[in-house]
Structure 1
Amino acid sequence: MDTRYISHARRRARGAVRPAAIAIVVVVAVLAAASWFLIIKPHQELMEADAGGHPSTPVQPGAQATPPANVAAMSLNQLLAEARKAVNDQRLLAPSGNNAFEFYLKVLEKQPGNQVASDALRETFPVGASVAEQTINQRDFNEAQRQIDLLAKADPANYTLTILRSKLDAQRKLQDREQQQEADKERQAQLAAQKAAADKADAERQAAEAQQRALADQRAAQARQAQQQAAEALRQQQSAPANAAASAVAASSGSATHGPVLVRNVNPRYPTAAVRSNQEGWVEVSFTITPEGNVDDVKVIDAEPRHVFDRAAVEAVSRWKYDPATKDGTPVATQDKRRIVFKLN
């Protein structure tokens, strides 16, 4: 075979391959440049500008920046700038209305599929989950629920949400148990204090009742003694006119007319209520002495105090017995009036 023909064929084949390889290299270079300028570079500028912040940097509570006046009217670039600033200020999920997640989500509302916002949310999600977990541990449950809801808007299917929700529920139940236990302790302490107060009041009441009974018994004994003394004085007082009348009858020796003579005196009973209240007084009564010597129609004329000793006086006088008055030797009914004195000493 002619070697000149073979060499020519080889040079023609190499000439055909070289343009195709160059075309492939050019396409790859163009795609790489487009990716750099359209995706990678803008994202890096947002994440690493100024303070050098990065979405994977652990977020700690930062300063509370003033939220934008009208988020809904902001452009995509303004929202992305606010999101970048929030990341740099470590406001990933809080405060409400002024944090990076809400700004990125607002970008996606205006432009679904925005690569910068989507990448930022994906990269910051683990850090946001850590922030939410810290909030749960601090037992700020309402704020933790808001942060979890915000994470769910960014990535609804992320399994970390299930873990966070379970932990939030467990911490809430734990706090409820602790609060219930504390309430039970307080209630038991209150019941113990109430029982102690009731026992003390009952003991004081029993002591007061015992003292009152002892005082009442003492006064009753004093009243009985005073009643006996009063009855003795009354007998002596009432026996004097009877003895005088008897002497007059004997002196008249045969006079057929004389007044009634008390032959049986019944002492009045001192009312218990008056003894306990340490009351004294008198009752003036009028009554009829029948021809048989009995007392009838006893009436209270006056008393001091009223209605305290009336009954005792009437009962006592009704049981008195007289030698009836006589006129010309015949027993006759007569009227009489007495004052019954009630005195403790």
Structure 2
Amino acid sequence: MSSSVSSPANRRGLLFVVLGALLLLLIGGGFWYAHGHMAGHAAEGHTANDGSEVGVMLDLADKAYQERRLVAPVGSNVYEFYFSVLQLDPNNAVAQRRLRDAFKPACDVVESTINSGDLDEAQRELSLLRQYDSHNYKLALLGSVLDAQRVIERRRHEAEAARIQAQQAGGN
């Protein structure tokens, strides 16, 4: 009978020990996660608004991204800001990741600029993206489209010049 009397007490004690161990595991896991999460941010380097030059540039780049200034205007766009960050901190993971994330939308902007006929601006934007990835096939395609648009524009100008010359020759 003594074993049956001590059994509920043993079970209750065992339950408290198990609950205590689970509580310690949860608390320890929370500390481990928090420490790992903060260490991950520290490993990325500077962050926006941390007061450093890199932090200021990251903040400017974040604002440019939110305003969709990916490759324009000159001096105030995502790519130029992140390139500045990488000049100050060549291994900055935040800048590298965000340049990669902005690449496809920036290519779309260049394509739109070509289609709008602003070929000099498109050339500048394309050159900016080539600084990021000079061997990308999308940039090669955009370069070909830009070259084709320049040929079309040159032919249009030549035709206009020929028309003006013919008009002047006919008027004399």
TM-score (norm 2): 0.70
What secondary structure is seen at the aligned counterpart in 2 of 1:152? helix
For residues 47-76 of structure 1, the C-alpha deviation after alignment (integer angstroms, 9 at most, x for no partner) is: xxxxxxxxxxxxxxxxxxxxxxxxxxx611
| 2:164 aligned to which of 182, 186, 200 | 186
- C-alpha deviation, 1:38, in angstroms: 2.6
Number of the residue aligned with 1:232:
none
Q: Give the corresponding residue for 1:171.
A: 149
Counterpart for residue 150 of structure 1: 128
- How many angstroms apart in 2 are the aligned matches of 1:120 and 1:103? 11
1:83-131 CA deviation, whole Å, 9 max, x = no partner?
A: 0111112211111111111111111111112111011000100011111
Distance 1:152 1:34 in 2: 36
Cα deviation code 1:176-196 (max 9, x no counterpart): 0011111111212222222xx
Unaligned residue ranges in structure 1 (runs of 5+): 1-25, 47-73, 195-345
- The answer to whether residue 138 in structure 2 is matched with residue 160 in structure 1 is yes
In the alignment, does 2:106 pair up with 1:128?
yes
Write the distance in 1 (CA, Å) between the matches of 2:151 and 2:34.
Answer: 53
Indicate whether 1:34 and 2:12 are aligned: no
Once residues 157 and 115 of structure 1 are traced to their aligned partners in structure 2, the CA distance between those partners, rounded to angstroms, is 21
- Higher-Rg structure is 1
- The AA in structure 2 aligned to 1:106 is S
Q: Choose the corresponding residue for 2:80, options 102, 105, 111.
A: 102
Q: What is the CA distance between 1:165 and its match in structure 2? A: 0.9
Match of residue 141, structure 1, among 119, 130, 138:
119
Pairwise CA distance, 1:157: 2.2
Give the structure with the higher percent helix.
2
Runs of 4+ in 1 over 4 A off after TM superposition: 29-33
Instruction: Work out the CA distance in 2 between the residues paired with 1:167 and 1:30.
Output: 52
SS at structure 1 position matched to 2:98: helix
Out of 53, 56, 76, the residue aligned to residue 75 of structure 1 is 53
Matches of 2:139 and 2:34, distance apart in 1 = 36
1:158 & 1:35 partners in 2: Cα distance?
34
In structure 2, do the counterparts of structure 1 residues 30 and 113 end up closer, same or farther at CA, with 3 Å as the change threshold? farther
What is the rounded CA distance, in whole Å, between the counterparts of 1:35 and 1:146 in structure 2?
39
**Count of matched residue pairs:** 137
Cα RMSD between the aligned structures?
Answer: 2.6
What is the TM-score with the length of structure 1 in the denominator?
Answer: 0.36
Identity across matched positions, percent: 36
AA partner of residue 113 (structure 1):
N
Structure with the largest fraction of strand: 1
Is the alpha carbon distance of 1:113 and 1:184 closer, same or farther for their aligned partners in structure 2, counting shifts above 3 Å? same
* Counterpart AA for 2:165: R
